Structure 1
Amino acid sequence: MQQNQLKQAQRDQRDAERAAAAAARDERAKYCASRRDEAERRTADVTRWVAILDGLLLEGIRRTARIDLQRFKRTFKPSAFDAGSLATPAQRPEWRQFEPAAPGMLSTIFGGRERHAAAVSRARRRFDDAMAFWEARERDRHQHLVQARAAFDARMAREQAECAEHNRQIDAEIEAFSERRRPSVERYCEQVLSRLLLPPDFPRRAEVAYNRDAEQVVVQLQLPGTDVVPTAKTFRYIQSGQNADTIVETKRPDSEIKRLYRDVIAQVTLLAIRDLFDADEHLREVAFNGHVDSINPATGRQEYPCLISLDVERAAFEELVLDRVRPADCLPYLRARVSEHPYALMPIEPILVFDLSKFAFIEGLDAVSTLDHRPDLMQMGHGEFEHLVRQVFEAMGMQGWTTTSSKDDGVDAVVKNPDPFVGGVTIIQAKHYKNVVGVNHIRELAGAMEEKKAGRGILVTTSWFTSGGRQKAYEHGRMQLVDGQNLIFLIKKYTGKDVVISVKRPKNAASIDQPDLPED
């Protein structure tokens, strides 16, 4: 019996070991199957994403880009007043709830009448107290009900007024857009670009400058970065041992990665231009600059290189059959400038600089040549003085333009350092004044810099600055002041002309240091 029990125990143990081994094999098989499924799923995801990248343009042109501004209007729908518990009055007390029972015949004989009268008197007092309490509660309820109704009516009136004001602003925006006012057209076009039918992770940062006379917009759009193209092509599960495995990534060829990225940014460019023309029937021309946010690995600094730039008219663009073109081949046909190596983020020079498109310029006047005959700057006209200031900066090696007096938006001239690394747009205000220039003018320049998104601002005057104005400019950090004495110094240094300024300057008007302005 003991031997049989031992054998049975050994058989049971072997069966348990076989069952455990079978369970382990099943678990391992399930695990391997899940890992193979994961590899196949990751391959399918990459394949699907590449298909999405290849079809950006075709998918985007299937819908209209026009924005119906009327749809932004609101409809005021007043809600019904809900008084809640205030609508239900409390139960009014009734005498029968307090009235004592009448005494019987026998009780009347033994003094029940007097006791009943006393009970009635007590009941009457309780009833009167109850009525007084009820009336007080009702007055309080009515008061709260009136207050609640007044608050409700005020809220409805406020919501109705807000709705009316919102709709008034929409109507004003529609009218401004129909009249082709620059801020309204720019806002509308920026809205169009923000709605580009692109994957959610794609950037949509866009800035627009509108030229009403030419019915042209200049667009600066952020293109997707190089990480939008997957570097992996397929994934494969490899079981390298009993308890060792891995999912191996098959790299996508570099040539295919670069081709895909070039095609993606070309599709985004064509889709953006198509949507602008489709959304605004008045536009005759779109100048497009496509940039990428990046960090220079050599310097660690944030950069924004331009990879695509083109200027196309509606008539030429509408000749394209966008559902049949090859986007990367279409851009050269439109005479676009495209980076030779966009995947390496090699920048190009834009056809039309976005910053400068924000300004209205006039033909330059040679104001320096008149200084031989009229060396006193105060004898110049205001416009002639603005041209002189622009020429001084051009003499430093910069590119300069003078803005129109009616559309300068607080900007008299614009200069640009052509150096691609340290250059940028600087706006200039020229104050042909006899009196002191104060803090308000500094704030005006700061506001113009913000509106025009200029990197720097310079305020030039024939007079002098208050100490508060100099402090305000110093606190701003991107602003420089040039007073009359330093202007004389700059004109002498860069144009060789000796000038005077017939401004009576107070003795306590200390001059700022000689300006250390950027040179080429």
Structure 2
Amino acid sequence: MIKETAKAQRAAERSRNAAIREQERHLRLQRQYERENERAIKQSIREQKAYEKEQKALHIEGRKEETNDYNEEVFYRLNEFNSIISGTLSVDDKISFESLYKKDEYPEFIEPYVKPLPANPVPVRESFFAGIAMEASLMERIIGHGKKARLRSIETAENAYNNALRDFESTENKINDLIKENEIFLSSARVEYDEAKRLYLGEISSQNSSIDDFKTSYFDKEKEAIEAYNTLVLERSNYSDIFPQTFDLFYLEESKELLVEYELPDVTAVPKNKEYKYTQSRDEIKGVPFKSKELNEIYSTLVASIALRTLHELFEADQGDHLDSVVFNGVVSTVDLSTGLDIRPCILTIQTRKDEFMKFDLARVDILACVKGLKAQLSPSVTELTPVKPIVDLVMYDKRFVNERDMLATLDTRTNLLQMDPFDFEHLVCNLFSKIGLESRLTRSSRDGGVDVIAFDPRPVFGGKYVIQAKRYKNTVEVAAVRDLYGTMMNENASKGIVTTSTYGPDARSFAKDKPIELIDGRVLLHMLEEQGIYAKIQL
């Protein structure tokens, strides 16, 4: 029992020791796992930090590149401004009339593809009888042996030949039909080609004839051709997309002077900032704006460069020697924030003679100094679009204007205005406003935009553009006519509208009282005539 007890105790001890060893092994494995897990976490943290550091470096590099892109864009735009003059000096601005002619570049006729015809060899009779004895052999003649077989072979060959001959003739008929179809197809293709080429050559001939007429008219000093030629010159001028390249031309034949009203880019064409800087600590790209003086100088140089380039191109291209001088008015389309209306203030006006201007070396001039030397009027604050008075206002040469007749000299106390011809009455009104000191122009009797007379008051403060409707009415003028006049004023950007007629209804006067419309009735019209020493009457 003692031995068994001792044996059991030793077994229990071994079990406990084994359990302890197993527990210690688990503890060692647990500590090993924890150490490996800790190493993995530390490695992951190191990798995460390295990744974040790399991403941060890439982000910083990207922001620096973005800053460089902004600065390159500013540099490109300012460099573009600086090359406005130099970019035209290397170009011959003369229009080659030869280059306007359209040349015969119509492709040669190429026969369309047709499917090849099938081969159809003629059957050769001898080939069907090859190896067949046509004559009786000696044996056949003596004893008649083999005659039937020979005759059957000849008959078979004859039938085969006849069948082949019929097949040949059938195929030949089909081929002939295909030949006719192909001939019709090719003929039709040729006819279509010839007709298309005829139309093309006719178009070329018509266009080239127009170029001939244009060239002849230009060198014959015809006004419309000279305007069209100079329009082509300016349209060919290669500017970037930020420049509107919109303009109006008017040629004065008597003085050989070209009037140009040119649409200038507004101040937003100039970059807002002169450079961009990146602050890494704040991860911020910040622009350094131009100072007001710097912005004004850059924009002034820009509009002056466009003016000088336009003058250079027009004078250099003047191969017909039609231009003695050019007037350049630079305008900007914008909105008057006080009224919400579209306006086009003139911010630069220049008049120069060809013989004077062509002596300049534009590659070496200071742009602003050159413009000032030409006695140009440049807005004192171009960025604010402060207008200047044009040397010659192109609006005074509206294509709607016609020559007026002197109707004032025909009036006397017996003249009844209500019996005048309506067109004569329009001439009379135009004469009257010219007499009282306005620069008045009579418009054509059709497509005049609802305007009979356009008058200009040149005074700097009180002046402006007036639109005048001359209505020779016997009855009271209703409000609808006055509303139409007001719409015309808005369309013409006029400062005042005037209607001359008999009398006005209360609605018409009520509509006009808070608007820049002056209603002149018959009595006031007679009084205005009397002030000029002219007497007439209005009698029903």
Structure 1 length as normaliser, TM-score? 0.73
Equivalence for 1:140: 181
Equivalence for 2:61: 33
**1:67/1:239 CA distance change after superposition, 3 Å:** same
Equivalence for 2:389: 349
RMSD across aligned positions (CA): 4.3
How do 1:48-63 and structure 2 match up within 5 A? 48-63=76-91
Q: For 2:59, give the aligned amino acid.
A: Y
The whole-number CA distance in structure 2 between the counterparts of 1:33 and 1:377 is 83
How do 1:18-417 and structure 2 match up within 5 A? 18-86=46-114, 89-96=116-123, 101-102=128-129, 108=149, 111=152, 114=155, 116-240=157-281, 245-280=283-318, 281-358=321-398, 365=406, 367-372=407-412, 375=415, 387-394=427-434, 399-401=439-441, 415-417=454-456
**1:415/1:41 CA distance change after superposition, 3 Å:** closer
- Greater mean deviation of Cα atoms: 106-115 or 255-264: 106-115
Offset, 1:363 = 9.2
Residue deviations 1:208-250 (CA, integer Å, cap 9, x gap): 1011221110001001111011121221222346xxx221112
The whole-number CA distance in structure 2 between the counterparts of 1:248 and 1:383 is 66
**1:15/1:149 CA distance change after superposition, 3 Å:** same
Q: For 1:221, give the aligned amino acid.
A: Y
> Do the aligned partners of 1:89 and 1:138 also contact (CA within 8 Å) in 2?
no
> Do the aligned partners of 1:39 and 1:236 also contact (CA within 8 Å) in 2?
yes
Offset, 1:191 = 1.8
> Do the aligned partners of 2:343 and 2:493 also contact (CA within 8 Å) in 1?
no
Unaligned runs of 5+ in 1: 432-448, 461-485, 503-520
Residue deviations 1:143-197 (CA, integer Å, cap 9, x gap): 1111111222222222222222222211211111111111111111112222334
Larger C-alpha radius of gyration, 1 or 2?
2
Residue deviations 1:132-152 (CA, integer Å, cap 9, x gap): 211111101001111111222
> Do the aligned partners of 1:283 and 1:314 also contact (CA within 8 Å) in 2?
yes
The whole-number CA distance in structure 2 between the counterparts of 1:331 and 1:427 is 38
> Do the aligned partners of 2:123 and 2:165 also contact (CA within 8 Å) in 1?
no
> Do the aligned partners of 2:417 and 2:536 also contact (CA within 8 Å) in 1?
no
Q: For 1:230, give the aligned amino acid.
A: P
Q: For 1:224, give the aligned amino acid.
A: P
Unaligned runs of 5+ in 2: 1-27, 134-145, 473-487, 500-519
Equivalence for 1:446: none
What SS does structure 1 have at the residue aligned with 2:85?
A: helix
What SS does structure 1 have at the residue aligned with 2:298?
A: helix
Equivalence for 1:516: none
- Greater mean deviation of Cα atoms: 7-16 or 254-263: 7-16
Offset, 1:347 = 1.9
What SS does structure 2 have at the residue aligned with 1:137?
A: helix
What SS does structure 2 have at the residue aligned with 1:39?
A: helix
The whole-number CA distance in structure 1 between the counterparts of 2:428 and 2:234 is 40
Offset, 1:298 = 3.0
Q: For 2:202, give the aligned amino acid.
A: A
- Greater mean deviation of Cα atoms: 104-113 or 129-138: 104-113
> Do the aligned partners of 2:128 and 2:160 also contact (CA within 8 Å) in 1?
no
The whole-number CA distance in structure 2 between the counterparts of 1:358 and 1:184 is 18
**1:72/1:158 CA distance change after superposition, 3 Å:** same
> Do the aligned partners of 1:426 and 1:455 also contact (CA within 8 Å) in 2?
no
Residue deviations 1:103-130 (CA, integer Å, cap 9, x gap): 9678945955555555545444433322
- Greater mean deviation of Cα atoms: 373-382 or 307-316: 373-382
The whole-number CA distance in structure 2 between the counterparts of 1:210 and 1:252 is 40
**1:119/1:318 CA distance change after superposition, 3 Å:** closer
The whole-number CA distance in structure 2 between the counterparts of 1:311 and 1:327 is 16
The whole-number CA distance in structure 1 between the counterparts of 2:367 and 2:469 is 41
Q: For 2:120, give the aligned amino acid.
A: P
Offset, 1:337 = 2.1
The whole-number CA distance in structure 2 between the counterparts of 1:233 and 1:40 is 12
The whole-number CA distance in structure 1 between the counterparts of 2:125 and 2:291 is 98
Offset, 1:254 = 1.6
Count the aligned residue pairs.
448
Equivalence for 1:434: none
The whole-number CA distance in structure 2 between the counterparts of 1:279 and 1:39 is 43
> Do the aligned partners of 2:85 and 2:308 also contact (CA within 8 Å) in 1?
yes
The whole-number CA distance in structure 2 between the counterparts of 1:455 and 1:12 is 79
Which residue of 466, 473, 495 corresponds with 2:529? 495
What SS does structure 1 have at the residue aligned with 2:113?
A: helix
The whole-number CA distance in structure 1 between the counterparts of 2:199 and 2:227 is 31
The whole-number CA distance in structure 2 between the counterparts of 1:240 and 1:282 is 65
Q: For 1:182, give the aligned amino acid.
A: K
The whole-number CA distance in structure 1 between the counterparts of 2:374 and 2:151 is 122
> Do the aligned partners of 1:392 and 1:491 also contact (CA within 8 Å) in 2?
no
The whole-number CA distance in structure 1 between the counterparts of 2:317 and 2:239 is 17
The whole-number CA distance in structure 1 between the counterparts of 2:524 and 2:150 is 128
The whole-number CA distance in structure 1 between the counterparts of 2:492 and 2:124 is 85
- Greater mean deviation of Cα atoms: 159-168 or 247-256: 159-168
Residue deviations 1:319-357 (CA, integer Å, cap 9, x gap): 444333332233333222222221111222222110223
The whole-number CA distance in structure 2 between the counterparts of 1:24 and 1:182 is 73
**1:143/1:329 CA distance change after superposition, 3 Å:** same
What SS does structure 2 have at the residue aligned with 1:59?
A: helix
Offset, 1:402 = 6.2
The whole-number CA distance in structure 2 between the counterparts of 1:292 and 1:421 is 22
> Do the aligned partners of 1:98 and 1:123 also contact (CA within 8 Å) in 2?
no
What SS does structure 1 have at the residue aligned with 2:440?
A: strand
